[in-house]
Structure 1
Amino acid sequence: MTTGLEPDLRPSYLEHRAMRIDAGRLTALVSAAQPDDADRLSALGSWYAGYEGAIHDHHTAEEAVIYPALLERDPSFAEADAELEGEHRVLADRLEVARQSLERLPSAAGGGRWERERDEDVRATQALEAILATHLPHEEEVAFSRYRQAFTSDEFADLGKAAWKVVGTRAIVFAGPWVLDHATEQERAETLAAQPWLVRVVYRLALRPRYERLARPLRSTPPLRARRTEA
Protein backbone atom coordinates (compact mmCIF):
# COMPACT_ATOMS: atom_id res chain seq x y z
CA MET A 1 0.00 0.00 0.00
CA THR A 2 1.37 3.41 -0.94
CA THR A 3 1.29 6.60 1.07
CA GLY A 4 0.39 10.13 0.10
CA LEU A 5 -2.67 11.86 -1.24
CA GLU A 6 -5.35 9.68 -2.76
CA PRO A 7 -5.89 9.69 -6.54
CA ASP A 8 -8.31 12.23 -7.94
CA LEU A 9 -11.06 10.04 -9.38
CA ARG A 10 -13.44 12.86 -10.28
CA PRO A 11 -12.61 12.69 -14.02
CA SER A 12 -13.34 8.96 -14.02
CA TYR A 13 -16.70 9.47 -12.32
CA LEU A 14 -17.51 12.24 -14.80
CA GLU A 15 -16.77 9.92 -17.72
CA HIS A 16 -19.12 7.34 -16.26
CA ARG A 17 -21.81 9.98 -15.79
CA ALA A 18 -21.48 11.06 -19.42
CA MET A 19 -21.77 7.48 -20.65
CA ARG A 20 -24.93 6.80 -18.65
CA ILE A 21 -26.71 10.06 -19.38
CA ASP A 22 -26.12 9.96 -23.12
CA ALA A 23 -27.18 6.34 -23.44
CA GLY A 24 -30.48 7.39 -21.88
CA ARG A 25 -30.75 10.39 -24.18
CA LEU A 26 -30.24 8.17 -27.20
CA THR A 27 -33.05 5.88 -26.13
CA ALA A 28 -35.37 8.83 -25.56
CA LEU A 29 -34.46 10.36 -28.91
CA VAL A 30 -35.03 7.17 -30.90
CA SER A 31 -38.21 6.30 -29.01
CA ALA A 32 -39.74 9.66 -29.93
CA ALA A 33 -38.47 9.73 -33.52
CA GLN A 34 -40.80 10.23 -36.47
CA PRO A 35 -40.01 9.82 -40.18
CA ASP A 36 -39.43 13.55 -40.72
CA ASP A 37 -36.63 13.41 -38.13
CA ALA A 38 -34.51 11.38 -40.55
CA ASP A 39 -32.03 14.21 -41.27
CA ARG A 40 -31.45 14.81 -37.59
CA LEU A 41 -30.95 11.12 -36.94
CA SER A 42 -28.49 10.92 -39.82
CA ALA A 43 -26.54 13.92 -38.53
CA LEU A 44 -26.32 12.23 -35.13
CA GLY A 45 -23.95 9.66 -36.62
CA SER A 46 -20.90 11.89 -36.26
CA TRP A 47 -21.64 12.50 -32.59
CA TYR A 48 -22.25 8.80 -31.98
CA ALA A 49 -18.92 7.91 -33.61
CA GLY A 50 -17.21 10.10 -31.03
CA TYR A 51 -19.27 8.64 -28.17
CA GLU A 52 -18.49 5.07 -29.18
CA GLY A 53 -14.83 5.93 -29.72
CA ALA A 54 -14.52 7.65 -26.34
CA ILE A 55 -15.89 4.60 -24.52
CA HIS A 56 -13.61 2.33 -26.53
CA ASP A 57 -10.60 4.51 -25.64
CA HIS A 58 -11.63 4.58 -21.98
CA HIS A 59 -11.63 0.81 -21.80
CA THR A 60 -8.51 0.40 -23.92
CA ALA A 61 -6.63 2.62 -21.49
CA GLU A 62 -7.92 0.65 -18.52
CA GLU A 63 -6.97 -2.71 -19.98
CA ALA A 64 -3.59 -1.61 -21.33
CA VAL A 65 -2.40 0.58 -18.46
CA ILE A 66 -4.60 0.98 -15.38
CA TYR A 67 -5.74 -2.57 -14.68
CA PRO A 68 -2.26 -4.15 -15.13
CA ALA A 69 -0.74 -1.58 -12.78
CA LEU A 70 -3.45 -2.24 -10.22
CA LEU A 71 -3.05 -6.00 -10.55
CA GLU A 72 0.67 -5.66 -9.89
CA ARG A 73 -0.02 -3.77 -6.67
CA ASP A 74 -3.08 -5.79 -5.64
CA PRO A 75 -3.22 -9.41 -6.89
CA SER A 76 -6.67 -9.79 -5.32
CA PHE A 77 -7.95 -7.72 -8.24
CA ALA A 78 -7.46 -10.66 -10.65
CA GLU A 79 -11.01 -12.02 -10.51
CA ALA A 80 -12.59 -8.59 -10.80
CA ASP A 81 -10.21 -7.77 -13.65
CA ALA A 82 -11.50 -10.72 -15.67
CA GLU A 83 -15.11 -9.79 -14.93
CA LEU A 84 -14.65 -6.16 -15.94
CA GLU A 85 -12.87 -7.01 -19.17
CA GLY A 86 -15.68 -9.44 -20.00
CA GLU A 87 -18.17 -6.62 -19.49
CA HIS A 88 -16.06 -4.44 -21.79
CA ARG A 89 -16.53 -7.02 -24.55
CA VAL A 90 -20.29 -7.03 -24.06
CA LEU A 91 -20.37 -3.23 -24.04
CA ALA A 92 -18.32 -3.03 -27.25
CA ASP A 93 -20.77 -5.37 -28.95
CA ARG A 94 -23.80 -3.37 -27.81
CA LEU A 95 -22.21 -0.12 -28.93
CA GLU A 96 -21.70 -1.61 -32.38
CA VAL A 97 -25.26 -2.92 -32.59
CA ALA A 98 -26.65 0.47 -31.54
CA ARG A 99 -24.51 2.20 -34.16
CA GLN A 100 -25.66 -0.14 -36.91
CA SER A 101 -29.30 0.33 -35.90
CA LEU A 102 -28.91 4.09 -35.82
CA GLU A 103 -27.31 4.07 -39.27
CA ARG A 104 -30.20 2.10 -40.76
CA LEU A 105 -33.01 4.14 -39.25
CA PRO A 106 -32.87 7.31 -41.44
CA SER A 107 -33.10 5.27 -44.66
CA ALA A 108 -36.30 3.64 -43.39
CA ALA A 109 -38.10 6.99 -43.07
CA GLY A 110 -41.30 7.13 -45.09
CA GLY A 111 -41.26 3.42 -45.84
CA GLY A 112 -42.89 0.33 -44.48
CA ARG A 113 -39.80 -0.57 -42.44
CA TRP A 114 -39.89 2.55 -40.27
CA GLU A 115 -41.74 1.18 -37.24
CA ARG A 116 -39.73 -2.03 -37.21
CA GLU A 117 -36.38 -0.31 -37.63
CA ARG A 118 -37.21 2.24 -34.93
CA ASP A 119 -38.29 -0.47 -32.50
CA GLU A 120 -35.07 -2.39 -33.17
CA ASP A 121 -33.05 0.77 -32.56
CA VAL A 122 -34.88 1.37 -29.28
CA ARG A 123 -34.07 -2.16 -28.16
CA ALA A 124 -30.42 -1.64 -29.14
CA THR A 125 -30.08 1.57 -27.14
CA GLN A 126 -31.91 0.04 -24.18
CA ALA A 127 -29.46 -2.87 -24.25
CA LEU A 128 -26.63 -0.34 -24.23
CA GLU A 129 -28.18 1.39 -21.22
CA ALA A 130 -28.50 -1.97 -19.46
CA ILE A 131 -24.85 -3.00 -19.78
CA LEU A 132 -23.71 0.45 -18.67
CA ALA A 133 -26.02 0.20 -15.65
CA THR A 134 -24.33 -3.09 -14.78
CA HIS A 135 -20.72 -2.35 -15.66
CA LEU A 136 -20.14 1.16 -14.37
CA PRO A 137 -21.27 0.63 -10.75
CA HIS A 138 -19.38 -2.68 -10.73
CA GLU A 139 -16.19 -0.98 -11.85
CA GLU A 140 -16.60 1.80 -9.32
CA GLU A 141 -17.07 -0.78 -6.57
CA VAL A 142 -14.23 -3.19 -7.35
CA ALA A 143 -11.66 -0.99 -9.13
CA PHE A 144 -12.09 2.60 -7.97
CA SER A 145 -11.99 1.55 -4.33
CA ARG A 146 -8.70 -0.25 -4.97
CA TYR A 147 -7.19 2.72 -6.82
CA ARG A 148 -7.43 4.73 -3.62
CA GLN A 149 -5.57 2.07 -1.69
CA ALA A 150 -2.96 1.16 -4.31
CA PHE A 151 -1.81 4.51 -5.74
CA THR A 152 -0.85 7.96 -4.60
CA SER A 153 -2.23 10.98 -6.42
CA ASP A 154 1.00 11.42 -8.37
CA GLU A 155 1.23 7.75 -9.30
CA PHE A 156 -2.32 7.70 -10.61
CA ALA A 157 -1.70 10.90 -12.56
CA ASP A 158 1.34 9.24 -14.17
CA LEU A 159 -0.86 6.29 -15.16
CA GLY A 160 -3.26 8.76 -16.74
CA LYS A 161 -0.42 10.21 -18.84
CA ALA A 162 0.62 6.73 -19.93
CA ALA A 163 -2.98 5.92 -20.83
CA TRP A 164 -3.24 9.08 -22.91
CA LYS A 165 -0.25 7.93 -24.98
CA VAL A 166 -2.14 4.71 -25.73
CA VAL A 167 -5.38 6.33 -26.91
CA GLY A 168 -3.97 9.49 -28.49
CA THR A 169 -5.45 12.91 -29.19
CA ARG A 170 -9.03 11.66 -29.63
CA ALA A 171 -9.12 11.47 -25.84
CA ILE A 172 -8.96 15.28 -25.83
CA VAL A 173 -10.65 16.31 -29.07
CA PHE A 174 -13.97 14.58 -28.39
CA ALA A 175 -13.85 13.13 -24.89
CA GLY A 176 -12.68 16.31 -23.18
CA PRO A 177 -15.62 18.55 -24.12
CA TRP A 178 -18.01 15.58 -24.02
CA VAL A 179 -17.20 14.83 -20.39
CA LEU A 180 -17.24 18.51 -19.41
CA ASP A 181 -20.65 18.84 -21.05
CA HIS A 182 -21.97 16.67 -18.23
CA ALA A 183 -20.13 18.45 -15.43
CA THR A 184 -21.62 21.03 -13.10
CA GLU A 185 -20.30 24.58 -13.40
CA GLN A 186 -18.09 24.02 -10.36
CA GLU A 187 -16.79 20.68 -11.65
CA ARG A 188 -16.06 22.21 -15.04
CA ALA A 189 -14.23 25.18 -13.52
CA GLU A 190 -12.13 22.95 -11.24
CA THR A 191 -11.27 20.54 -14.05
CA LEU A 192 -10.23 23.30 -16.41
CA ALA A 193 -8.26 25.10 -13.69
CA ALA A 194 -6.08 22.01 -13.34
CA GLN A 195 -5.16 22.11 -17.07
CA PRO A 196 -2.33 24.08 -18.69
CA TRP A 197 -3.25 27.53 -20.00
CA LEU A 198 -2.95 26.44 -23.64
CA VAL A 199 -5.33 23.52 -23.12
CA ARG A 200 -7.92 25.87 -21.60
CA VAL A 201 -7.64 28.23 -24.56
CA VAL A 202 -7.95 25.43 -27.12
CA TYR A 203 -10.95 24.03 -25.27
CA ARG A 204 -12.82 27.35 -25.27
CA LEU A 205 -11.94 28.43 -28.81
CA ALA A 206 -11.97 25.13 -30.68
CA LEU A 207 -12.89 21.95 -28.84
CA ARG A 208 -16.06 23.11 -27.13
CA PRO A 209 -17.52 24.82 -30.24
CA ARG A 210 -16.73 21.72 -32.31
CA TYR A 211 -18.44 19.49 -29.76
CA GLU A 212 -21.48 21.76 -29.68
CA ARG A 213 -21.87 21.33 -33.43
CA LEU A 214 -21.57 17.55 -33.16
CA ALA A 215 -24.02 17.31 -30.25
CA ARG A 216 -26.66 19.58 -31.78
CA PRO A 217 -28.69 16.68 -33.27
CA LEU A 218 -28.80 15.06 -29.84
CA ARG A 219 -30.40 18.00 -28.10
CA SER A 220 -31.56 20.54 -30.67
CA THR A 221 -34.93 22.22 -30.29
CA PRO A 222 -37.76 21.71 -30.90
CA PRO A 223 -37.52 18.27 -29.31
CA LEU A 224 -38.62 15.17 -31.14
CA ARG A 225 -42.31 14.58 -30.87
CA ALA A 226 -43.61 11.93 -28.53
CA ARG A 227 -45.11 8.95 -30.28
CA ARG A 228 -48.76 9.24 -31.03
CA THR A 229 -50.95 6.89 -29.05
CA GLU A 230 -52.73 4.48 -31.31
CA ALA A 231 -56.51 4.78 -31.18
Structure 2
Amino acid sequence: MTIDFTPMYASHDAFRRDLERLAEAVADGRAHTGPVLAGWENFKHQLHVHHTAEDSDLWPRVRTRVGGRTRDLGMLDEMEAEHARIDPLLAAVDAALADRAFELPDLVRALRATLDDHLKHEEDSALPLMGEVLTDADWAAFTGRLRETQGLRGAAVFVPWLVDGVSAGDRERFLGAFPPPVRVLNRLFWEGSYRRRGLWVVR
Protein backbone atom coordinates (compact mmCIF):
# COMPACT_ATOMS: atom_id res chain seq x y z
CA MET A 1 0.00 0.00 0.00
CA THR A 2 1.28 3.47 -0.89
CA ILE A 3 1.67 5.91 2.01
CA ASP A 4 -0.94 8.67 1.97
CA PHE A 5 0.85 11.96 2.55
CA THR A 6 -2.38 14.01 2.32
CA PRO A 7 -2.29 15.15 5.99
CA MET A 8 1.35 16.17 5.58
CA TYR A 9 0.62 18.33 2.55
CA ALA A 10 -2.46 19.74 4.30
CA SER A 11 -0.36 20.70 7.33
CA HIS A 12 2.18 22.43 5.10
CA ASP A 13 -0.60 24.38 3.38
CA ALA A 14 -2.01 25.40 6.77
CA PHE A 15 1.38 26.69 7.91
CA ARG A 16 1.68 28.78 4.76
CA ARG A 17 -1.89 30.06 5.15
CA ASP A 18 -1.31 31.17 8.74
CA LEU A 19 1.86 33.07 7.89
CA GLU A 20 0.04 34.76 5.02
CA ARG A 21 -2.62 35.81 7.51
CA LEU A 22 0.04 37.13 9.86
CA ALA A 23 1.67 39.13 7.07
CA GLU A 24 -1.69 40.62 6.11
CA ALA A 25 -2.39 41.52 9.74
CA VAL A 26 0.99 43.22 10.05
CA ALA A 27 0.39 45.20 6.84
CA ASP A 28 -3.08 46.24 8.06
CA GLY A 29 -1.92 47.25 11.55
CA ARG A 30 -3.81 44.38 13.24
CA ALA A 31 -0.81 42.36 14.44
CA HIS A 32 -1.45 43.10 18.11
CA THR A 33 -5.16 42.29 18.19
CA GLY A 34 -6.43 39.32 20.19
CA PRO A 35 -7.50 37.14 17.23
CA VAL A 36 -4.16 37.59 15.46
CA LEU A 37 -2.09 36.87 18.57
CA ALA A 38 -4.24 33.79 19.28
CA GLY A 39 -3.76 32.62 15.69
CA TRP A 40 -0.01 33.14 16.00
CA GLU A 41 0.14 31.13 19.23
CA ASN A 42 -1.77 28.26 17.62
CA PHE A 43 0.50 28.38 14.56
CA LYS A 44 3.58 28.09 16.77
CA HIS A 45 2.06 25.18 18.67
CA GLN A 46 1.13 23.26 15.52
CA LEU A 47 4.56 23.84 13.99
CA HIS A 48 6.30 22.76 17.19
CA VAL A 49 4.33 19.50 17.35
CA HIS A 50 4.97 18.84 13.66
CA HIS A 51 8.71 19.52 13.70
CA THR A 52 9.32 17.81 17.05
CA ALA A 53 7.70 14.61 15.81
CA GLU A 54 9.75 14.75 12.61
CA ASP A 55 13.03 15.29 14.47
CA SER A 56 12.41 12.71 17.20
CA ASP A 57 10.62 9.98 15.25
CA LEU A 58 10.39 10.46 11.47
CA TRP A 59 13.91 11.40 10.40
CA PRO A 60 15.50 8.64 12.54
CA ARG A 61 13.22 6.07 10.88
CA VAL A 62 14.18 7.31 7.43
CA ARG A 63 17.88 7.25 8.37
CA THR A 64 17.57 3.62 9.38
CA ARG A 65 15.89 2.70 6.11
CA VAL A 66 18.37 4.46 3.78
CA GLY A 67 21.36 2.76 5.37
CA GLY A 68 24.62 4.24 4.10
CA ARG A 69 23.24 6.22 1.15
CA THR A 70 25.32 9.36 1.58
CA ARG A 71 23.19 11.65 -0.57
CA ASP A 72 20.00 10.75 1.28
CA LEU A 73 21.65 11.09 4.67
CA GLY A 74 22.89 14.53 3.65
CA MET A 75 19.38 15.58 2.70
CA LEU A 76 18.11 14.45 6.11
CA ASP A 77 20.85 16.53 7.74
CA GLU A 78 19.54 19.48 5.73
CA MET A 79 16.00 18.88 7.01
CA GLU A 80 17.19 19.08 10.60
CA ALA A 81 19.36 22.13 9.93
CA GLU A 82 16.41 23.91 8.32
CA HIS A 83 14.31 23.24 11.41
CA ALA A 84 17.07 24.79 13.51
CA ARG A 85 17.09 27.93 11.33
CA ILE A 86 13.36 28.42 11.75
CA ASP A 87 13.37 28.45 15.56
CA PRO A 88 15.33 31.74 15.97
CA LEU A 89 13.02 33.43 13.47
CA LEU A 90 9.98 32.36 15.49
CA ALA A 91 11.59 33.83 18.60
CA ALA A 92 12.45 37.05 16.76
CA VAL A 93 8.86 37.50 15.55
CA ASP A 94 7.65 36.80 19.08
CA ALA A 95 9.93 39.49 20.48
CA ALA A 96 8.96 41.98 17.76
CA LEU A 97 5.27 41.40 18.45
CA ALA A 98 5.81 41.93 22.18
CA ASP A 99 7.88 45.08 21.66
CA ARG A 100 5.82 46.39 18.71
CA ALA A 101 9.17 46.68 16.95
CA PHE A 102 9.48 48.34 13.55
CA GLU A 103 11.39 45.26 12.28
CA LEU A 104 8.27 43.09 12.51
CA PRO A 105 7.36 43.21 8.78
CA ASP A 106 10.89 42.24 7.74
CA LEU A 107 11.01 39.43 10.30
CA VAL A 108 7.68 38.02 9.15
CA ARG A 109 8.90 38.10 5.54
CA ALA A 110 12.08 36.28 6.55
CA LEU A 111 10.11 33.65 8.46
CA ARG A 112 7.72 33.10 5.55
CA ALA A 113 10.56 32.71 3.07
CA THR A 114 12.58 30.39 5.30
CA LEU A 115 9.65 28.17 6.22
CA ASP A 116 8.36 28.03 2.65
CA ASP A 117 11.80 27.04 1.36
CA HIS A 118 11.94 24.26 3.95
CA LEU A 119 8.43 22.98 3.21
CA LYS A 120 9.14 22.94 -0.53
CA HIS A 121 12.43 21.13 0.03
CA GLU A 122 10.61 18.57 2.17
CA GLU A 123 7.88 18.12 -0.43
CA ASP A 124 10.32 17.85 -3.35
CA SER A 125 12.95 15.65 -1.71
CA ALA A 126 12.02 14.17 1.68
CA LEU A 127 8.48 12.99 0.94
CA PRO A 128 9.48 11.09 -2.23
CA LEU A 129 12.30 9.45 -0.26
CA MET A 130 9.91 8.50 2.53
CA GLY A 131 7.53 7.03 -0.01
CA GLU A 132 10.39 4.92 -1.34
CA VAL A 133 11.93 3.60 1.88
CA LEU A 134 9.35 3.69 4.68
CA THR A 135 7.00 0.81 5.35
CA ASP A 136 3.34 1.22 6.21
CA ALA A 137 4.25 0.25 9.76
CA ASP A 138 6.87 3.01 9.89
CA TRP A 139 4.34 5.61 8.77
CA ALA A 140 1.69 4.30 11.17
CA ALA A 141 4.18 4.58 14.02
CA PHE A 142 4.99 8.18 13.10
CA THR A 143 1.35 9.25 12.76
CA GLY A 144 0.63 7.43 16.01
CA ARG A 145 3.32 9.51 17.68
CA LEU A 146 1.67 12.66 16.35
CA ARG A 147 -1.74 11.56 17.67
CA GLU A 148 -0.23 10.71 21.04
CA THR A 149 1.46 14.11 21.26
CA GLN A 150 -1.69 16.01 20.24
CA GLY A 151 -4.11 13.98 22.37
CA LEU A 152 -7.85 14.31 21.96
CA ARG A 153 -7.84 17.93 23.11
CA GLY A 154 -5.15 18.81 20.59
CA ALA A 155 -6.91 16.94 17.79
CA ALA A 156 -10.03 19.01 18.48
CA VAL A 157 -8.04 22.05 17.32
CA PHE A 158 -5.70 20.42 14.80
CA VAL A 159 -8.35 18.90 12.54
CA PRO A 160 -10.51 22.03 12.03
CA TRP A 161 -7.34 24.16 11.82
CA LEU A 162 -6.17 21.95 8.98
CA VAL A 163 -9.25 22.68 6.85
CA ASP A 164 -9.76 26.30 7.89
CA GLY A 165 -10.46 28.32 4.76
CA VAL A 166 -9.71 25.57 2.23
CA SER A 167 -11.85 24.85 -0.83
CA ALA A 168 -14.68 22.35 -0.62
CA GLY A 169 -12.73 19.84 -2.70
CA ASP A 170 -9.60 20.08 -0.56
CA ARG A 171 -11.68 19.93 2.59
CA GLU A 172 -13.28 16.67 1.51
CA ARG A 173 -9.91 15.24 0.47
CA PHE A 174 -8.12 16.29 3.67
CA LEU A 175 -10.83 15.06 6.01
CA GLY A 176 -11.09 11.84 4.03
CA ALA A 177 -7.61 10.92 5.25
CA PHE A 178 -8.92 10.66 8.83
CA PRO A 179 -10.90 7.77 10.35
CA PRO A 180 -14.72 8.15 10.30
CA PRO A 181 -14.99 8.81 14.09
CA VAL A 182 -12.65 11.79 13.74
CA ARG A 183 -14.74 13.22 10.91
CA VAL A 184 -17.91 12.83 12.99
CA LEU A 185 -16.36 14.52 16.02
CA ASN A 186 -15.07 17.32 13.83
CA ARG A 187 -18.47 17.92 12.25
CA LEU A 188 -20.48 17.74 15.47
CA PHE A 189 -18.19 19.43 17.98
CA TRP A 190 -14.71 20.48 16.96
CA GLU A 191 -15.37 22.86 14.07
CA GLY A 192 -17.93 24.88 15.99
CA SER A 193 -15.60 25.24 18.94
CA TYR A 194 -12.72 26.19 16.66
CA ARG A 195 -14.78 28.86 14.86
CA ARG A 196 -15.86 30.37 18.17
CA ARG A 197 -12.19 30.95 19.03
CA GLY A 198 -12.01 33.34 16.06
CA LEU A 199 -8.36 32.80 15.24
CA TRP A 200 -7.08 35.49 12.83
CA VAL A 201 -10.62 36.87 12.38
CA VAL A 202 -11.01 40.56 11.55
CA ARG A 203 -13.54 41.92 14.05
Instruction: State the alpha-carbon separation in 2 of the partners of residues 144 and 182 from structure 1.
Output: 25
Q: Which moved more, 1:132-141 or 1:162-171?
A: 162-171
Rg: which structure is higher? 1
What is the letter of the counterpart of residue 13 of structure 1?
Y
Instruction: State the alpha-carbon separation in 1 of the partners of residues 197 and 85 from structure 2.
Output: 26
1:54 alignment counterpart: 46
1:179 alignment counterpart: 162
What is the letter of the counterpart of residue 80 of structure 1?
M
What is the letter of the counterpart of residue 65 of structure 1?
D
Larger RCO (alpha carbons 8 Å, 6+ apart): 1
- Quick check: 2:59–2:76 contact (8 Å CA) kept in 1? yes
Match of 2:178 among 179, 191, 195: 195
Q: Flag structure 2 segments of 5+ consecutive residues without an equivalent.
A: none
Q: Mark the CA change 1:104 to 1:202 in structure 2 (over 3 Å): closer, same or farther.
A: farther
1:69 alignment counterpart: 61
Q: Please give the secondary structure, in 1, of the residue aligned with 2:155.
A: helix
Q: Give the CA deviation at 1:210.
A: 2.7
**Aligned ranges for residues 23-172 of structure 1 at < 5 Å?**
23-33=19-29, 37=30, 41-75=33-67, 76=69, 77-105=72-100, 117=101, 119-153=102-136, 155-169=138-152, 171-172=154-155
Q: Give the CA deviation at 1:58.
A: 0.4
Q: Give the CA deviation at 1:66.
A: 1.0
| Structure 1 segments of 4+ aligned residues over 6 angstroms from their partners | none
Root-mean-square deviation (Å): 2.3
Count matched residues.
200
Q: Please give the secondary structure, in 2, of the residue aligned with 1:174.
A: helix
- Quick check: 2:35–2:201 contact (8 Å CA) kept in 1? no
TM-score, with structure 2 as normaliser: 0.85
Q: Mark the CA change 1:167 to 1:137 in structure 2 (over 3 Å): closer, same or farther.
A: same
Residues 1:20 and 2:3 are matched in the alignment:
no
Q: Give the CA deviation at 1:30.
A: 0.5
- Quick check: 1:54–1:170 contact (8 Å CA) kept in 2? no
What is the letter of the counterpart of residue 220 of structure 1?
V
Q: Flag structure 1 segments of 5+ consecutive residues without an equivalent.
A: 106-116, 222-231
Percent sequence identity over aligned pairs? 27
- Quick check: 2:49–2:146 contact (8 Å CA) kept in 1? no
- Quick check: 1:91–1:131 contact (8 Å CA) kept in 2? yes
Q: Give the CA deviation at 1:55.
A: 0.4
What is the letter of the counterpart of residue 141 of structure 1?
D
1:110 alignment counterpart: none
- Quick check: 1:94–1:124 contact (8 Å CA) kept in 2? yes
TM-score, with structure 1 as normaliser: 0.76
Q: Give the CA deviation at 1:204.
A: 2.2
